[in-house]
Chain A
Amino acid sequence: MSWLTQTLTSSIGKKVLMSLTGLFLCLFLVVHLIGNLQLFKDDGGYAFNTYAVTMTTFTPVKIISYLNYFFILFHAFWGIYLEVRNRKARNVKYNLIRNQSTWSSRNMALLGTILLVYIVVHMGDFWYKFHNEPLPYVQYTEMLSTGEVFSQVMPAGYTQDVKQVEFVNSDEGTRTVIVKDLYQTVSVAFQNFLLSFFYLLGMVAVGFHLYHGFQSAFQTLGINHPKYSPFIKAVGIWVFAFIIPAAFAAMPLYFYFKQF
């Protein structure tokens, strides 16, 4: 075994792989949230739909997204493997346990499994449909002078070869964009109570997972310092366990209550 595989397969190395992939996924969550906040823009989905095209066509973003899918799968299955291994380290269970640790920290594998199921459903709902299903198209006309945007749903059966058709009419001073209406797909999907509720549960799981996970990742990398650790813990709890899941959870809630 080379020194590198020896390092990465040691108990500490295995954890470092969990830590690094986990931190990457935390970073992804921030970017994903910033992009998705465009769902709250009252522009008929113009910003969100064109953003969706950029994210699925711009090559560097595509490379990072496939890396991201790989890290999600790696983090999930490596985590399950570690959990199985760790359980073997106690072959006879205790009769009575009063553990002095947080519930999150003891249930990372359970929370992670919930999140894996959530991610599969989530990607099936939107990612798969966006890539593989004939979603309706929408045409946006932007007045270049005022910045006003008018949207118009394309007739049923309309399709185009590229993800985004764009042309500028300099006589009329307008820019026209035709894209798949993912915004509409999202808003219709979240009108379903069960799906919205499932998404809320998913976000609760993210919150609890990161309540322990974020700060734990730094500890695994050996970062524990009286100056920085309180800051890392605060960011883990407030930003990653509370604000980010709450902001994501606001999306299904927004569309669910908008229908009434």
Chain B
Amino acid sequence: MPLAPLLRREGLAKLSGREQYVDDLDIPGALHGITVRSTSARGTIRNIRFDPEIDWSSFVIVDHRDVPGLNTVKLIETDQPALAATEVRHIHEPVVLLAHPSRRALRKAVRAITIEVDPLPSVLDFTVRPTPEQIQHGSDNIYKQITITKGDARSILADAPIIVEGVYRTGAQEHVYLEPQGMIAEEVDGVIIIRGSMQCPYYVHTAVCHALGREADQVRIIQTPTGGAFGGKEEFPSGVAIHAALLALKAGRPVRLVYDRTEDLAATTKRHPSWTRHRTAVASDGQLLAQEITFLLDGGAYMTLSPVVLSRGMIHAAGPYHCEHISIDGRAVLSNTVPFGAFRGFGAPQSLFAVERHMDRIALRLGLDPVTVRQRNLLADGQTTATGQVVADGVDRQGLLNRALSLSDYAAKRETHRQFNIDTPDRRRGIGLTTFFHGAGFTGSGEVYLDSKVAVAGLPDGTIEVRTASTEMGQGTTTIFTQLASDRLGLPPEAVAIAQPDTAVVPNSGPTVASRTAMIVGRLVQEACDDLRRQLSLDATDRGNDVAEAIRAWHRTHPNGLLLGQGHYRPPPGIEWDEGTYRGEAYGAYGWAAYVAEVEVDLRTYGTTVLDFVAVQDVGTVLNTTLARGQVQGGVAQGIGWTLMEECQWEDGAMTNNQLTNYIIPTSSDIPPIRVAFQETPYPHGAEGAKGLGELPMDGPAPAIANAIAAATGAEAAVLPLTPERLMADLDR
């Protein structure tokens, strides 16, 4: 039985403007905070000069000496200071914090502080080997190096008659969530309470406890409705929360630290720039014989999540194809730019762009249709991925591709474009496709390590409250959890409340990342509902009023009692992963997709217009059609931006176009109709058969569009973004 449809539960609150985001909260007596940042890419702090023109006594001033715990933003590593003490590693690195009642006074004060730095040699190009003077991490500036080996690619390549080579590059991308970063901190009865915009309340909790030297029960993190995140509010908010807390402790009053757009664009994490080289041995019929791949990521000035972004990028780097011999070598390296971090797709959009653009190069070289090359190599059940994972999920991958081809009218379009390009002097049309996959949930044993927990509380009035740390950031957590719990217990949606994530109330269901919420946490919500029913001595046939009445009866006999059903993650059987050798089941489930883009390039302006876009995917059972379609269309739009227009411009490792005036994201007039279709092969271990969905649609647009541009114009189309300037240089080469 499919779940009953449900409109977005908080939708009306958002449409009516009643939803209260962090900067909408009216906190009496709160000061405003601001961050004073480095203006040097790398160096030793010599002095911090406060302009005597300003009366500093009216400001709360915080620097590294005010950090009561360990002065680091704890994540995978503890390399990033909460506030720089002696050394800065990138422009915009936080050094001093200020608080004051007036935002205007703060903006003036920031300009009156000079951070004097003795410069040190910086690294601004991550593809160049550093000199000894540039080393800042380990002995080589490498944050993480990974090798994936299947078979013996080197021997095959040594004797191969046909080798296709290519180098592919992608640029940084800003998340541009419409609500900038923000936190409000205060101390109440010895407990630091921090409210703000975030994906992962327990990440923030861990980082704040670490930096402030507090016990877990002395820190309480509450997520406020979050106006978009896309990974940009995975790890970055931890630092903002620490800063707000430091100011609040020193001020003895609540402090509101909310970024404006220019600060948010300049100082927050972005998608990792990448460099990928492919050397591929192929048979004349298009069969992949050996893939040798080198994958480099620019990690920026601190490690953040770069090792896991690298890992996911590499696991996807060979594409959704069967090949007996694969060698992938990857490194994430330091540079003195703003740290790069989590962003929807998490390394996979970069590596999939490379392999999927490369597949079209292979087709061109062999004189085959790009469809043929993919049909010949797409993984079939029983075959293995690059990590040796046997694919056996019953998904009809050839069928996905065929559906995308027929929905997009691919074959006929190829013919009409041929004629159009002869008849039309100034414009060129082309169609391009990509087949790809995206692993859902944490990599390897990551989900076991997360050890996620969920609770469903039965309340005295017979309603229930779902308690998880999984946040709503627009993707639909609240609605999906309501549908799942309502369906499981037969209660109407109105009888299901979703608790606002608050670390004092909700158990740790893990971070809201990696397309894991519906599939993994949703499943735990169902299990917690079952556990609640067990505690009430009900059986599975008891639903609706029987459940509500049993909850009320329990409370009559247990006054002030806590009735909690619990769900606790257990891995599906057969998941084996070896982190040392990178062999085994990298992901419990994969979403699979085939996307097709049709473009027109104007040869006078070199501007590209996407005329049509078809997105066909298998993400298991679709739990809510409107939400799922919205995720795909939103991801495709974000992908179109990354492919054609979004370009961070850098000077000395700092983003110089940190305004929406010149960092251009797509508007409604830039986006074609995005036609979405789902093939639904239920995943037995996901909630109601669901697999991860949120990130997959970010992977497909770049290769589909680049392949279409190449088909239209003959461009190399190997470097993103394909701005008019870059395409002009490409075609005039």
Asked if A and B bind, the verdict is no
Chain A residues engaging chain B, CB cutoff 8 angstroms: none
